[in-house]
Structure 1
Amino acid sequence: MEGLPVDCLSEILSLTSPREVCRLSTVSSSFRSAAESDAVWRKFLPYAADDLVRRLADALAFPSSNKEVFVRLCRRPLIFDTGRKSFGLERSTGSIVYMLSARELSITWGDDPMYWSWKSVPESRFAEAVELRFISWLEIEARVSTESLSPHTLYRAYLVLSITKRAHGLDSVPAITWVEVAGTRVSRGKALIQNGCGSEGRGGGDEGGGWSVPVGRDGDGWKEIELGEFVTGAGGGDGVEVRAGLKEVEGCQVKGGIVVEGIELRPKIL
């Protein structure tokens, strides 16, 4: 293959993955040149590259190539839709990472200041997050169309939150977590919002014998609770609704002291 024109090598590389392109770029100078081709990285961008460049130009230094657009979206998600959603890419596969802010979620009594307090949080990528003051009925849900996600991809949904020093009532009763696709429940589990009571850590819900618990995220200061997983269909334009959420209503247990940033849908790396 070393004797093939760079254009041919670029076409071959574009059929692989970003991780494979980076690995193959170390093979020889010809592969390295092909790996820098704009045509290769255009194939790894989920939408038209020109549109992504226009979106990035407002917030960042103007990207000079499709590869730079790709790298920027891996490092720093693009905030859009009046600052209520974020869009990024997973580095090794190029799959879409999509997040809804707390303002885009369905939160029971979320607009009642007696129970929830909306505020700016310096650590958040969004303009607002919401803090639970106290409540007995906790229910948080996201709804996303598969048009916003990568096709033929295994995704996991995560509730992104922090736990304050005032937290209470979060470690006595497990919450129910779930994911539904087109009205069919495809994943169900349990989670302790505040780790305690001898929980064994992340697991497969009812089937796996373990409960999900908050774990730290890389680099952003927040924690996340796994809600479940699902697989997207073909084409990314099928328009199927995905619902993911968490609910804890048993025993009228009063609880409070969490700050919700949003729900993230992230490809599972196998």
Structure 2
Amino acid sequence: MGAGFSALFISQEGLSSVSSSSPSLGDLPESCVASIIGYLDPPEICKVAKLNRAFRGASWADFVWESKLPPNYQILVDKILGVVPENLGKRDIYARLCGVNTLDGGAKKVWLDKSTGGVCMSISSKGLQITGIDDRRYWNHIPTLESRFCSIAYLQQIWWFEVEGEVEFPFPAGSYSVFFRLQLGRASKRFGRRICNSEHVHGWDIKPVRFQLWTSDGQYATSQCTLSDPGEWFHYHVGDFNVENSNSSTKIKLSMTQIDCTHTKGGLCLDSVVIYPSKFRERLKHEGFLKC
């Protein structure tokens, strides 16, 4: 953009001939600038706001940021932020929703993707129903910095593996994908280096794990996947669901099971369930974090 505007002020001799009376970016009407930057993504708007006073003022225009917010942002504000000042600008609302906001006593976290404004959600292992979680012979909650919840559920060994979850939330209209964030093996640090203990990893290569999801409006999805590659966190794709009505909450039930009792399985870290706009699947695939 800067190079394009500079080209307007090059003389025929190829030299810059900008005089004190020549027009500049600062002379553009703020309303005109706001109409232009409304076509940019939020990070780009924040960058061009540094150009001059006109761009800085335009970057705060409510109509610019209202176009970036989800259509049901007022419902999201009530659900996520609660009471907010009446005169809070749309840019500030966007910024607050982009922060990682906690729900249900810390069991869930919700935020807007800064670049797209898409709603994302993460449900901690403590917000899921896990068979045998209260018996320390099978499961333990382990503190870690590798989870946004600072804790994961670690399975040593079990015959009947079953994890279920449920969430009800006013997702904006669109398509969403559900994932379990899992890792085989228990990671730790030694002399500042990350290492993974795979001592208890077994049984996952015999039969695949089954993932399922149901929605309150009758949608259903299922997938199967063999857990593999110890030592790395992966997003295992459960399935997708669509939201058409942004003004009402969508209820989702989900599960992850491997209940073949002919063998035990263990050595699994369960961090969370995450719900992203479906177009994020390609991002996860490109980064190498996607399974199934």
Cα 1:11/1:139, change in 2 over 3 Å: farther
Q: Give the counterpart of 2:173 among 148, 152, 170.
A: 152
* In structure 1, C-alpha distance between the alignment counterparts of 2:215 and 2:82, rounded to whole Å: 32
Instruction: Name the SS for the 1:238 alignment partner.
Output: coil
| Residue 94 (structure 1) shift | 0.5
Instruction: Name the SS for the 1:260 alignment partner.
Output: strand
Cα 1:20/1:173, change in 2 over 3 Å: same
Cα 1:184/1:115, change in 2 over 3 Å: farther
* Unpaired segments ≥5 residues, structure 1: 56-63, 196-213, 217-221
Q: Is residue 141 of structure 1 aligned with residue 164 of structure 2?
A: yes
Aligned residue identity for 1:161: L
Q: Is residue 245 of structure 1 aligned with residue 279 of structure 2?
A: no
For 1:117, the equivalent position in structure 2 comes to 140
* In structure 2, C-alpha distance between the alignment counterparts of 1:223 and 1:35, rounded to whole Å: 41
Aligned residue identity for 1:6: E
Between Structure 1 and Structure 2, how many residues are aligned?
231
* In structure 2, C-alpha distance between the alignment counterparts of 1:226 and 1:145, rounded to whole Å: 20
Calculate the TM-score normalised by the size of structure 1.
0.69
Q: Give the counterpart of 1:234 among 216, 229, 245.
A: 245
- On the 8 A contact 1:159/1:226 being kept in 2, the answer is yes
For 1:254, the equivalent position in structure 2 comes to 264
Aligned residue identity for 1:247: T
Cα 1:70/1:215, change in 2 over 3 Å: farther
Instruction: Name the SS for the 1:123 alignment partner.
Output: coil
Aligned residue identity for 1:171: D
- On the 8 A contact 2:183/2:234 being kept in 1, the answer is yes
Q: Give the counterpart of 1:6 among 11, 30, 33.
A: 30
Matches within 5 A, 1:59-78: 67=91, 70=94, 74=98, 77-78=100-101
Q: For the pair shown, which has the larger CA radius of gyration, 1 or 2?
A: 2
- On the 8 A contact 1:22/1:35 being kept in 2, the answer is no
| Residue 142 (structure 1) shift | 1.9
* In structure 1, C-alpha distance between the alignment counterparts of 2:224 and 2:91, rounded to whole Å: 40
Q: Deviations over 1:216-245 (max 9, x none)?
A: 6xxxxx32211111112212x422311122
Instruction: Name the SS for the 1:242 alignment partner.
Output: strand
| Residue 91 (structure 1) shift | 3.0
Matches within 5 A, 1:165-184: 165=198, 166-182=200-216, 184=218
* In structure 1, C-alpha distance between the alignment counterparts of 2:177 and 2:54, rounded to whole Å: 34
Cα 1:21/1:122, change in 2 over 3 Å: closer
Matches within 5 A, 1:160-239: 160-164=181-185, 165=198, 166-182=200-216, 184-195=218-229, 222-235=233-246, 237-239=247-249
Higher relative contact order (CA 8 A, sep 6+): 1
Cα 1:242/1:248, change in 2 over 3 Å: same
* In structure 1, C-alpha distance between the alignment counterparts of 2:178 and 2:138, rounded to whole Å: 25
| Residue 127 (structure 1) shift | 4.2
* Unpaired segments ≥5 residues, structure 2: 1-24, 186-197, 281-292
Aligned residue identity for 1:112: D
| Residue 251 (structure 1) shift | 4.6
Instruction: Name the SS for the 2:65 alignment partner.
Output: helix
Calculate the TM-score normalised by the size of structure 2.
0.64
Q: Deviations over 1:87-127 (max 9, x none)?
A: 12223320111111111111122222221112212322214
Cα 1:256/1:238, change in 2 over 3 Å: same
